[in-house]
């Protein structure tokens, strides 16, 4: 177990950041699932814009790699374009 005050604080702050990152990632996954299930073109377009924004934020915060975000956006664009 950590002995120094700074190490204890680091443990607390790391846990807070871990939970926050987990929340953002889970929220993004939920929106991705909703986009994949959508059947309305207008709804799919709105969801795609929202998901792209969320993925860019995750990449900016180093929660996911920027190439991972780009790959997900490209695949979701195909899904969105296929919606009638």
Mean pLDDT rounded to a whole number for the chain: 95
Which CATH number belongs to the domain containing residue 44 in this structure? 1.20.58.110
How many domains are contained in the chain? Answer: 1
pLDDT of residue 36: 95
Give 1's DSSP letter: -
Q: In which domain, by residue range, is 69 found?
A: 5-82
Tokens of 2: 């950590």
Considering the entire predicted model, what is its pTM? 0.86
Q: What percent of the chain has pLDDT over 70?
A: 100
Using 70 as the pLDDT threshold, list the residues of the chain that sit under it. Answer: none
For 7-45, letters b (16+ CB in 10 Å) and e give eeeeeeeeeeeeeeeeebeeebeebbeebeebeeeeebe
């Amino acid at each position: 177990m950590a002995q120094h005050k700074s190490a204890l604080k680091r443990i607390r702050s790391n846990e807070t950041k871990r939970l926050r990152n987990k929340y953002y990632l889970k929220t993004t996954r939920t929106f991705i699932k909703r986009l994949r299930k959508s059947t309305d073109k207008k709804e799919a377009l709105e969801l795609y814009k929202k998901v792209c924004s969320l993925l860019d934020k995750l990449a900016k915060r180093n929660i996911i790699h920027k190439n991972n975000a780009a790959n997900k956006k490209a695949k979701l664009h195909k899904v969105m374009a296929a919606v009638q």
